[in-house]
Each structure stands twice: as C-alpha cells, then as structure tokens.
Structure 1
Amino acid sequence: MFTYRKRSVIPENVQELARELGVSFQRKKVSAELVSAFRSALQNLPAESVPRGALEIREIAQMSIGYGHREPSGLGSSFLQALGLNHKNEDTFLRDHPDLGWLLMFHGSGYVRQAAMEALTTSPSCPFEVAAVVYRLNDWVGNVRTASTEYARRFLLTASAKTISESAFFLLPQVYHLSRWNDQALSVVQDSIYRTEVLDEMREQFLAPRSGKVGQSLRLILQRSDFDIHLEKLVLDARLPTVRAIATETLLMRRARWFVGYRREWVNKVYGMTRRTAEFETRDVEIDFGVADVLGAAARDKSSLVRRIAADFLISKREYLTAEMADLSDVLRNDKSSAVRSRIDFLDRAIASA
C-alpha cells in the first residue's frame, strides 16, 4: 500500500495501522486503542520479516530522518520535547502509552529508539517482537544497544516458550550475522532460548513438518548439550528426513557439529588459486540412549540419507560388530540406494582383509 516495492512483507492491515499510528504520533493524538490495535496486528507476523519489515514500517509510519539530519546532544533537547519523549515530562506519550515503543523502536532517530526501548514494560508477545528486540540489541547506536540489553535482561527471559521457540528458528542462524552486539546481549538471547520449556516446545516443532532451514536450526541448537535429551525422540518420530538424519548422526557418532563460516583453502599457490571451504565446530555428546533402537530405526528408515548414516556407523564399528549389527548390515546390503550398498561393500572388504 505505502511502499514502493511490488511486494511487502507487512500485511495490509499492519500497514494501515502503522501509518495511522505514525501520523497520530506526529499530531500528538495517540490513543490507547490505536496502540493496542497496532500491537495486536503484529501477532501474526513471522520473525523473519523483521529485517525488511523494520524498514517498511519506518517508511510507512513516516519515521525516517533525511540525509544530513543532525541529532540533538541529549535526551532533554527540544527535539525530543517536540516528540513528547522528554523523560522530565510526566505527560510524555511513552509514559502514557509504553506499548508505543513497539512502533518507535523502528524510528530513524537513535534517540527515539533508545527512549522506546527504555519505555517498554511488557515481554514480547509474538515472534516478530522477539526478533525486533534482538535486532535492537545489534543496533548501530551504542545507547540503543545498552537500553535493549537492559530490556532483554528483564523481559526476554519471561516471554512465552512458544513465542521464543518460534522465533529461534530464525534467530539462531542470525547469530553469525549480527556483529555489533556484545557477549552480554548474546548471553541473554541464548539463555532465553535454552530454557527447559522452550527446548520442549522446539522438540515438538522439530517433530512436525515445517518449512525453512530446519536442519541448520537443529545443528545450531546442538551447540549446547541442553537439547541432547530430545535427540532419541527425533530419531524415532521426526517427520522430516533431515531432522532424523542429524539426530541419528549426532547420537551414533556421539558428536554434534555446526556450521560457523567459510575459509579460503589453497588449491595452487603458484597460480594463486583458492577455494572456499566450509568450517564446522564440534563438541562431544555424552548422553545415554538406546544404541540398538537408534541404529535399528536408522537402518530401516525410509530415507536413504538416514540409512547411509547407519552404514557409516557400522563401518566405524567394524572391529566390534555384534550379531545384531551384522544382521543390520545384511538388511543394508541389498538396499535400493547405491550409496548405501557401496558402504556395505566397503564394510565387507574391510572385514575380509582384517
């Protein structure tokens, strides 16, 4: 409606409310009903719409600051007084309507974003709000980051498990792209995600089919051991083959690994040729589980991706094969996947030459 793009990540009703609330704020006629309606409209927005959605909301609500604008020197300036954001004035809009901060956190002025984060008094109630707070933790203005960290410490840890878990699928990969925040802010975000009730909710979401980079999110949540107790359940009952494969690999190989970036590797120094190689970090997994149950389920899984992992495990244990493992190798020997059969062929040759 109000953007120049052919397609917006912000639904029409949110655009209408953002424009109306932004204009009302400029005219100093903000009402509690309008603020409540705007926040209610955010409930159905996904977390991944924040990066572009923040820019669109700023444009739609007319909160941009033109090139060459000079910020005031402090919060008590006439600039903030004109916006009703002077902390010395008890009749400010943000004091009367703290939830107005969910709009003003996208303002073009860092002073206004800081005041918005300091005014908020409630926990995020939807994935979009959680992601918006995390992006303010990475704000380019230091004072906004400080105010956002204080807010996150008080309220992010009390947000509902469903809200945090749903946003975590988007936020976990973003950790490697948000470079301005400090260790304290990162710790608050991680502590909110690794709450027991949040991990329980994420287990249910990993069990169900869903779109997006689910495998990447699962590997990233395994950076800490808190989620390990759920892996056996994922091996047996997850709907997505990628989830079953990662859970199976992590348990059988007793190693969690996750992507951290790329590095340049020399191919030919004489001609200056390099190639980009993915880098992973790992940690050992130390948890008791039913090895026979997991291996048996993997060997009979309908996905060849999971069956290959079972074959790899048999190869790694070829010197200590039990009778049950030998039976599973017989099952995989006639597998319809050539990748699985070739692994069992290698296993047979290795055993024969031992």
Structure 2
Amino acid sequence: MPKDEFICATAALAEAAQKQTITAADIAAFFAISATLPPAHYDASARQLDYAFLPAWQAGINQYVSLLSRQHPQLAWIELASWNGYVREKALRSLSAGAPTPFFLMLAVRRLNDWVPQVRQAAYETLPAMLKNTGPDIIAATLCVVFSRWSEWQHIESKGKTLVLDLAARPDVASGIKNHILSQASGSIVPILSQAGRIAVLDGFLEQIAHKAVQPAVRAKAYRSLLEGKMTWTDGKEWIWLDLSKCKGKRQALVCQRTLSVTTPLQETLTAAINDRSAAVRHVGGEMLMRHFAQLGTESVRLARQLAADRTPRVAARGRFLLENNGLS
C-alpha cells in the first residue's frame, strides 16, 4: 500500500535526519514514494511528516532555523508540514525550484490557507516562481486536490484564489484538469468541475465531459450546466437566521454562478442526457425537459413518453407528470 510505504519511508528519513546521515539518494527515494500517494491520504501523510520530524524541528527552534534544511536544501519541502509557523515561512522563502511531486506542491499551495498571516504572505510571494518551474502535470494534479477541498478553506484570501485560478487558466494545466475529470472513476470529482468553473477555462470541454466522463455525477453536472447555460459553485457558507426572536439560525452554503461562454443545441443536448446510461443523468434530463417542454414541440412529447417508460421510477415520474400535465396521458 502506498500509504504504508510512505509511513515507513518517513520514519527512516526522520531517523537519518536526527543522525545527520541523509544522502541525496535517500531524498530521491522518498520523493519517489510520495509520488504514489493517493490524494485521499494527503492530509494524514502531512500529519505523519509533522510527527516524524518533530525532534529535528525542535532542535533548531530557538533560532527558527530547522536542522533539516541545513543538511540538504531539498528537505525544505518536508518543512512545509511543520507545526511551527516560522519553519513553514522559512521553508517557503527558501524554495524556488519546481515541486518534486503533487503531494509536496499541495503542501506549498495549502499555505495560501495557512492560519498564520506571515506564512500566507510568504506563499503569495514565493509560489509564482515555484510554479513556473513545476511541470503542468504536477500542477494539474495538485489543483484537482485543491478544488475538491476549496470550499472548506477558511483563511484563503481573494488574492490567493486569484493566484490559483490564474494557474488553472493555463492551457496545459486546464487540459490536465479536464483529463482528470474525464478519467476518474471514484473520488470527489464534481467539486473539481464546479470550482474550476469559476472561470471559463473548462467551458469548451463541457460537452466532452457530459458525454465521456466516467462518473455519472460528473456527466449530470456537465449536462445541467450546458442546459442551464451557467456554472454554479459553492463559495463558503453564510449565516441564515431561522427565528431571530429565539436566536435560531444555521450556516448554509453560499452558491455563486457564472454564465457559460459557450452555447450548445438544446434538442441534441437534452436528447443525449435523456438517453444516458445513468439514471442520475436521465433524471437531470427530465428536469430540463420540464423547463423547456414548450420549446421543442413534438420532440418534447416523444422525449416525455420515453421518460415515462424508463425503468427507474423517479425518472419515469418526470415523464408521466409531463404527459398528464399536458393532457397527453
């Protein structure tokens, strides 16, 4: 298992750090193992780094200089996981080379959401040079992880979001994000499509995503965006009062939207959605048919009858409602 290999490699490298016997080969092997980590294990792996290298960081804590980077400059990537804000800031300011793997680039980009303002400022100042020297495949893989969790980030500022979105707008990076969205059979992919949809970088790929994405939920999101002519995403949460006299309320997601820069033929797109192999996509197609029923004439009736005969009850209910509501049952 990649996670188990990473834990063992981390422990071995931390032991070598305390003995000050780390070699360039040790670092290269450690980076190679980190490249195999699945995104779902990034948070736990960062905590593992922090725990394993804690004695090394504490050794230089009085001078705010880590014992690690004095042994080898490349170890500054590991310092990005430190519990100490001084160490994290120093690590950022010492790094200008390209990131070795998506995991370590994620540690750097996540500093845009750091709770320490000075660390966030260091990230704003150093990330552009670092990203300029990093391969587009590593950047695309990292942004997919960022977008899947962006709505949970509480400390990132507008200039941090702008930096990330400008990066996603690069054609080579956008192509990598598109390929990730198309190919992933598991994981949280819809938030990636939604958050990347803040800008028009994926608008031209939406039709391809609607037809070819592996995950039904992703195809449903793409079809909905095309048929509504807009992309929606969540941007944090806002407080809503339910009963001010009793001080009752709740936090709910703040939904934002943007008009798409592309258009698609209504009938062809709607027909493709209703003929999709997934009931989740056909359900979206039924909802859109209810909105556009009067625009398609006899084709609307044919599609409604097709929905009414669907093997999935919730999809068939859409078609029966349309037929009954228009006196066609």
The answer, yes or no, to whether TM exceeds 0.5 is yes
| Counterpart AA for 1:148 | A
Report the CA distance between 1:257 and its aligned residue.
1.5
Aligned partners of 2:172, 2:47: CA distance in 1, in Å?
Answer: 33
Report the CA distance between 1:349 and its aligned residue.
4.4
Alignment: residue pair count: 328
The answer to whether the aligner puts 1:125 opposite 2:100 as a matched pair is yes
- Any conservation in 1 of the 2:96–2:129 contact (CA below 8 Å)? no
Report the CA distance between 1:249 and its aligned residue.
0.7
Query: Helix, strand or coil: the match of 2:81?
Result: coil
* Residue in 1 that maps onto 2:48: 56
* Residue in 2 that maps onto 1:3: none
Aligned partners of 1:310, 1:175: CA distance in 2, in Å?
Answer: 28
Identical residues among aligned pairs (%): 23
Max Rg structure: 1
* Residue in 1 that maps onto 2:305: 330
* Residue in 2 that maps onto 1:38: 30
State how 1:1-354 maps to structure 2 within 5 Å. 11-63=3-55, 72=62, 77=63, 80=65, 83=67, 92-93=70-71, 97-263=72-238, 265=240, 277-352=252-327
Deviation readout 1:21-70 (Å, 9 max, x if unpaired):
3344444444322222222221112334333322221221234777xx99
Aligned partners of 1:279, 1:108: CA distance in 2, in Å?
Answer: 31
Query: Helix, strand or coil: the match of 1:256?
Result: strand
- In structure 1, the gaps of 5 or more residues are 1-8, 86-91
* Residue in 2 that maps onto 1:4: none
- In structure 2, the gaps of 5 or more residues are none
Aligned partners of 2:303, 2:285: CA distance in 1, in Å?
Answer: 9
Report the CA distance between 1:344 and its aligned residue.
2.7
Query: Helix, strand or coil: the match of 1:36?
Result: helix
| Counterpart AA for 1:55 | R
- Any conservation in 1 of the 2:198–2:231 contact (CA below 8 Å)? yes
Aligned residues: CA RMSD: 3.2
Deviation readout 1:101-128 (Å, 9 max, x if unpaired):
1222223433332222222232123221
- Cα separation, partners in 2 of 1:278 and 1:19, compared to 1, 3 Å: closer
Aligned partners of 2:254, 2:116: CA distance in 1, in Å?
Answer: 31
- Cα separation, partners in 2 of 1:84 and 1:259, compared to 1, 3 Å: closer
Write 1 or 2 for the structure with the bigger share of helix: 2
Aligned partners of 1:215, 1:108: CA distance in 2, in Å?
Answer: 32
- Cα separation, partners in 2 of 1:334 and 1:276, compared to 1, 3 Å: farther
